């Protein structure tokens, strides 16, 4: 390698390199060369089979009693207001599954929110990712063995179990769930889980058949009764070819949000309030295998449900078919059709507020065929006769048990504000959150949104924000409006 250029490096890495180079009094290129050489030397000293590794120390060697590395590397220059886990200590237990690779990103996500992360890996996990990569990301020792009294780094499973604010198991395999549900403690991961008195969050990941197995279902019910929290699993494609269903590990950002919700000690202005939220699309069946749907991902509705829960509300989410995880701390009912969504919402009344984010299908096929409609040569396509679905927002907006605050959305591709104002009146809402969903905006399925709040008082245009930020601002607005209403 003739020369080394640092120009194309990530900004965060560049910043760190610049700092270290200044400390060592060398050029950035020299610093990069030194670090590279160090890392190559270190990795060539690693044992060749990961199963032999007891602990991998990336941080400089310290005595067993040294404090954990300081929380809160400001990864990616995250603004201070977003350092939602500042000072929090998280113990991440990584189980053996293909989803283990996502736990590497999870470590980054937790640390960029200000948390310090310490990791335990099961033997099986080390078949998928190495303690070396985990240690590089946690900047701490990676713990793998239950009995390791000879090692100066050993802190013991009891200390690991207690010296933390939350334990996250990701991926949580069927095996780890079974061990925890039955109180087994034969390895470090299960011993830590049994010894802890801290909250535990599991992010299961397994084949859909394993997830659906009665044994796993029994274990899940036991664990929930024991107060263990779950995030996911999600629906979707599996690593195995042609396998799909419920069993994919929740995405790192979803797990990080669940951690934030569990460790959140912020103000709870919505405590004691019941709020209904609808989210996602609806599916309207044509026959047993076909349906009419739309592109809604549920991201905005789920984010609103989570944001309201963070402010202390008792959130009842009615979700159409989506592939994202149920938000943490939210009671979720899953439905498929508009009529099921309407019935679920009506069963949840009375409520203090209701937020209708779902992209409900306006029409459904008039009658679902009992059998799959066959293609008959020469007969042409069947004519689909459609009838109107119930308008859930309008019926709740004019309901005798109308919640104090009714918020609707207006998904428009033209005349945004005029259409939103008309919906406000027609549907009996207090606010309409108007958003332009034309394909060019990328709102449907995307992560950002630009909305205007339309009410009798006028129009408040918000800047383009992440869907989480829109959710947080809307939750704050709802809290403000409910402040004056008696619980
Ligand atoms: N909505 C509902 N039930 C329906 C249709 C819509 O609850 N059957 C709610 C949506 O959740 C949203 C609001 O009504 O809060 C507006 O949805 P939108 O699809 O924008 O309006 P529509 O009434 O369907 O009108 P159009 O499709 O003509 O724009």
Please check whether residues 256 and 282 belong to one and the same domain.
no
> Does the beta carbon of 409 sit less than 6 angstroms from any atom of ligand 1?
yes
236 within 8 A of 244, measured Cβ to Cβ: yes
Q: Are residues 258 and 302 located together in one domain of the fold?
A: no
Verify whether ligand 1 is closer than 6 Å to residue 342 (CB atom). no
Pairing of strands 431-436, 405-412: parallel
Residue 313 counted as domain residue: yes
Cβ neighbours of residue 395 under 8 Å, at least 6 residues apart?
A: 342
User: In the listed set 213, 236, 263, which residue is the last one of a domain according to the structure?
Assistant: 263
**Rounded CA gap, 98 and 101, in Å?**
7
pLDDT per position as a tens digit, 231-284: 999 988 777 777 778 899 999 999 999 999 899 888 899 999 999 999 999 999
DSSP 316: E
For residue 74, name the pLDDT band (cuts at 50, 70, 90): very low
Same domain (yes/no): 137, 111: yes
Q: Categorize the per-residue pLDDT at 484 as very low, low, confident or very high, splitting at 50, 70 and 90.
A: confident
Indicate if 124 and 88 belong to the same structural domain. yes
What is the atom index within ligand 1 of the atom nearest the CA of 392?
A: 7
Query: Is residue 460 assigned to a domain?
Result: yes
Domain with residue 428: its CATH number is: 3.40.50.10300
**How many distinct structural domains can be found in the chain?**
2
- Note the pLDDT tens digit of each residue in 317-335: 999 999 999 998 899 999 9
What region does 232 belong to: left with phi over 0, alpha with psi -120 to 50, or beta?
left
Residue 113 within a domain:
yes
**Spatial CB neighbours of 177, under 8 Å, sequence gap ≥ 6:** 202, 204, 216, 219, 220, 223
Report whether 358 contacts 433 (CB < 8 A).
Answer: no
Residues 239 and 279 in one domain: no
Domain end position, chosen among 237, 263, 289: 263
CA angle (462, 466, 467) in 5-degree steps? 90
Is residue 388 lining ligand 1, measured as CB closer than 6 Å?
no
Highest mean pLDDT among 232-241, 245-254, 351-360, 435-444: 351-360
Q: How confident is the model at residue 32 (pLDDT cuts 50, 70, 90)?
A: confident
Q: Which two tokens stand for residue 62?
A: 């310290």
- pLDDT above 90 covers a percentage of the chain that reads 67
Answer for the pair 269, 260: CB distance below 8 angstroms, yes or no: no
Name the residue at shortest CA distance from atom 17 of ligand 1. 410
Residues 258 and 278 in one domain: no
Q: Which atom of ligand 1 is nearest to the CA of 362?
A: 8
Same domain for 195 and 327:
no
Q: Are 297 and 276 in contact (CB under 8 A)?
A: no
Answer yes or no: do 93 and 154 share one domain. yes
pTM for this prediction: 0.72
Same domain? For 327 and 454 the reply is yes
Question: What digits encode the pLDDT tens for the residues 17-31?
Answer: 776 766 665 666 767
Do residues 69 and 121 both lie within one domain?
yes
Asked if residue 20 is part of any domain, the answer here is no
Of 342, 393, 394, the one to substitute when testing ligand 1's pocket (max ligand atoms within 8 A of C-beta) is 393
Strands 142-143 and 55-56: antiparallel
Question: Ligand 1 pocket check: which of 301, 399, 409, 438 to mutate, most ligand atoms within 8 Å of Cβ?
Answer: 409
8 within domain boundaries: no
Distance of CA 35 to the CA centre of its chain: 34
- How much is the pLDDT for 52? 30
Which residue range is the domain that position 415 belongs to? 274-364+386-482
428 Cα–ligand 1 center, Å: 12
In terms of domains, do 286 and 248 share one? no
C-alpha dist (Å) from residue 406 to 146, 276, 450: 54, 10, 20
- The CA-atom distances, in angstroms, between 321 and each of 68, 80, 468, 479 are 42, 35, 20, 28
| Ligand 1 lined by 408 (C-beta under 6 Å) | yes
* Token pair of 255 as six digits: 């797990």
Ligand 1 near 410 CB (within 6 A) = yes
Per the model's pLDDT, the better-predicted residue between 323 and 442 turns out to be: 323
In a domain, 23, yes or no: no
Give the lowest-confidence range in 129-133, 242-246, 386-390, 448-452: 242-246
Tell me whether residue 425 is in a domain: yes
DSSP for 248-268? EPPPHHHHHHHHHHHH--S--
- Residue keyed to tokens 């399925």: 445
- Last residue of some domain: 221, 242, 263? 263
pLDDT, tens only, 377-401: 998 898 899 999 999 999 999 999 9
Angle at the Cα of 84 from the Cα atoms of 79 and 85, rounded to 5 degrees: 120
One domain, residues 122 and 256: yes
The answer as to whether 17 is a domain residue is no
Known catalytic residues are: 294
CATH number of domain containing 176: 3.40.50.1950
Distance CA 409, CA 397 (A): 13
Q: Is pLDDT of 155 > 90?
A: no
Distance of CA 360 from the midpoint of ligand 1 (Å) = 6
Strongest mean pLDDT among 328-332, 362-366, 482-486:
362-366
**pLDDT tier at 149 (50, 70, 90 boundaries)?**
low
Residue 415 has pLDDT above 50, yes or no: yes
pLDDT digits (tens, 9 = 90+) for 285-301: 999 999 999 999 999 99
Please choose, from the candidates 187, 61, 195, 49, the residue with its C-alpha nearest in 3D space to the C-alpha of residue 127: 49
């Amino acid at each position: 390698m003739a020369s080394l250029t640092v120009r194309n490096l990530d900004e965060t890495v560049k910043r760190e390199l610049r700092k270290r180079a200044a400390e060592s009094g060398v050029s950035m290129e020299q610093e990069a060369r030194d670090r590279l050489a160090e890392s190559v030397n270190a990795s060539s000293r690693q044992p060749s089979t990961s199963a032999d590794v007891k602990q991998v120390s990336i941080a400089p060697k310290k005595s067993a009693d040294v404090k954990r590395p300081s929380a809160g590397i400001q990864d990616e220059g995250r603004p201070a207001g977003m350092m939602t886990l500042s000072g929090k200590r998280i113990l991440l237990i990584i189980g053996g599954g293909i989803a283990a690779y996502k736990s590497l990103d999870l470590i980054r996500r937790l640390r960029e929110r200000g948390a310090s992360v310490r990791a335990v890996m099961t033997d099986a996990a080390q078949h998928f990712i190495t303690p070396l990569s985990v240690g590089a990301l946690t900047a701490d020792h990676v713990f793998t063995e239950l009995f390791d009294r000879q090692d100066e780094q050993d802190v013991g499973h009891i200390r690991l179990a207690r010296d933390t604010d939350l334990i996250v198991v990701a991926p949580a395999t069927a095996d780890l769930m079974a061990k925890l549900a039955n109180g087994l403690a034969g390895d470090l991961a299960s011993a830590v889980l049994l010894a802890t008195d801290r909250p535990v969050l599991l992010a299961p990941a397994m084949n859909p058949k394993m997830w659906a197995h009665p044994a796993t279902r029994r274990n899940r019910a036991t664990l929930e009764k024991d107060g263990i929290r779950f995030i996911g699993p999600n629906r979707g494609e599996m690593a195995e070819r042609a396998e799909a269903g419920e069993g994919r590990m929740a995405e790192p950002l979803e797990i990080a949000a669940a951690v934030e919700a569990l460790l959140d000690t912020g103000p709870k202005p919505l405590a004691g309030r019941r709020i209904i939220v609808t989210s996602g699309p609806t599916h309207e069946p044509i026959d047993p295998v076909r349906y009419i749907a739309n592109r809604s991902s549920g991201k905005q509705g789920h984010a609103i449900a989570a944001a309201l829960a963070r402010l202390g509300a008792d959130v009842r989410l009615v979700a159409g078919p989506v592939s994202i995880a149920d938000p943490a701390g939210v009671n979720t009912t899953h439905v498929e059709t508009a009529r099921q969504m309407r019935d679920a919402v009506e069963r949840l009344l009375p409520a203090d507020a209701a937020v209708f984010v779902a992209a409900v299908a306006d029409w459904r096929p008039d009658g679902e065929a009992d059998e799959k409609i066959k293609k008959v040569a020469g007969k042409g396509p069947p004519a689909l006769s459609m009838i109107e679905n119930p308008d859930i927002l309008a019926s709740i907006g004019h309901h005798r048990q109308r919640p104090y605050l009714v918020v609707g959305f207006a998904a428009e591709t033209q005349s945004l504000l005029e259409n939103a104002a008309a919906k406000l009146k027609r549907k009996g809402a207090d606010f309409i959150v108007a958003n332009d969903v034309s394909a060019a905006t990328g709102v449907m399925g995307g992560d950002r949104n630009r909305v205007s709040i339309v009410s009798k008082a006028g129009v408040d245009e918000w800047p383009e924000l992440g869907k989480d930020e829109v959710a947080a601002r809307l939750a704050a607005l709802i809290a403000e409006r409910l402040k004056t209403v008696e619980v």
